[in-house]
């Protein structure tokens, strides 16, 4: 049964880290956690990133790959139980929205730069015409 609330998923991930650390005598990788919980890698990474941000787990990258450690499991209780977790779809929508905003900012910046360049060329052309006008009047 797939739990949809973040609180339950946090407990599952913490339990998986404990069990896999005990079973294998080494901290687990994201693949092991996701396989144990039947989560997709995307969902597992999403949940683990949120748990890391809350200080519940620690993610360490080393020679043997990325490993997950339980840092402070008591912080799980600070998570609201009735609040539904942000789904992966919501995260993707937020990312697409921020990406769209960034694209608009880039387009606006490019338009401003093009206008500045056009104005600069117009000013240079005006100065060149002004500077070359007295030379045309030769006796």
Domain that holds residue 53: 6-86
Q: How confident is the model at residue 5 (pLDDT cuts 50, 70, 90)?
A: confident
CA 97 to CA 92: how far, in whole Å? 9
Phi, then psi, of 50 in degrees rounded to 5: -65, -40
Confidence at residue 64, expressed as pLDDT on a 0 to 100 scale: 83
Residues 41 and 72 both lie in one domain: yes
Residue 10 neighbours by CB distance under 10 Å = 24
Encoded tokens for 11: 């407990």
Is residue 139 in some structural domain? Answer: no
Residues 80 and 97 both lie in one domain: no
pTM of the model: 0.57
Residues β-bridged to residue 65: 62
Q: How confident is the model at residue 88 (pLDDT cuts 50, 70, 90)?
A: low
Report, in angstroms and rounded to the nearest whole number, the Rg of the chain calculated over CA atoms: 29
Q: Which residues contact 103 (CB under 8 A, 6 or more apart)?
A: none
Residues 66 and 99 both lie in one domain: no
Is residue 57 in some structural domain? Answer: yes
CA 12 to CA 5: how far, in whole Å? 11
Residues 99 and 72 both lie in one domain: no
* Domain C-terminal end among 50, 67, 86: 86
Residue 3 has pLDDT above 70, yes or no: no
> Residue 59: which CATH number?
1.10.10.10
Is residue 24 in some structural domain? Answer: yes
Is residue 81 in some structural domain? Answer: yes
Q: Which residue has the tokens 């339950």?
A: 8
106-111 average pLDDT score? 94
Confidence at residue 79, expressed as pLDDT on a 0 to 100 scale: 84
Encoded tokens for 104: 């608009």
Confidence at residue 1, expressed as pLDDT on a 0 to 100 scale: 46
Q: How confident is the model at residue 86 (pLDDT cuts 50, 70, 90)?
A: low
């Amino acid at each position: 049964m797939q739990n949809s609330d973040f609180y339950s998923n946090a407990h599952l991930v913490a339990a998986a880290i404990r069990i896999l650390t005990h079973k294998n005598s080494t901290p687990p990788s994201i693949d092991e956690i996701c396989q144990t919980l039947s989560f997709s890698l995307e969902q597992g990474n999403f949940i683990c990133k949120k748990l890391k941000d809350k200080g519940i787990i620690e993610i360490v990258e080393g020679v043997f790959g990325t490993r997950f450690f339980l840092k402070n499991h008591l912080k799980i209780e600070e998570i609201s139980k009735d609040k539904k977790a942000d789904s992966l779809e919501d995260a993707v929508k937020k990312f697409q929205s921020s990406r769209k905003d960034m694209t608009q900012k880039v387009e606006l910046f490019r338009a401003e730069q093009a206008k500045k360049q056009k104005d600069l060329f117009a000013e240079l052309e005006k100065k060149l015409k002004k500077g070359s006008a007295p030379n045309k009047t030769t006796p």
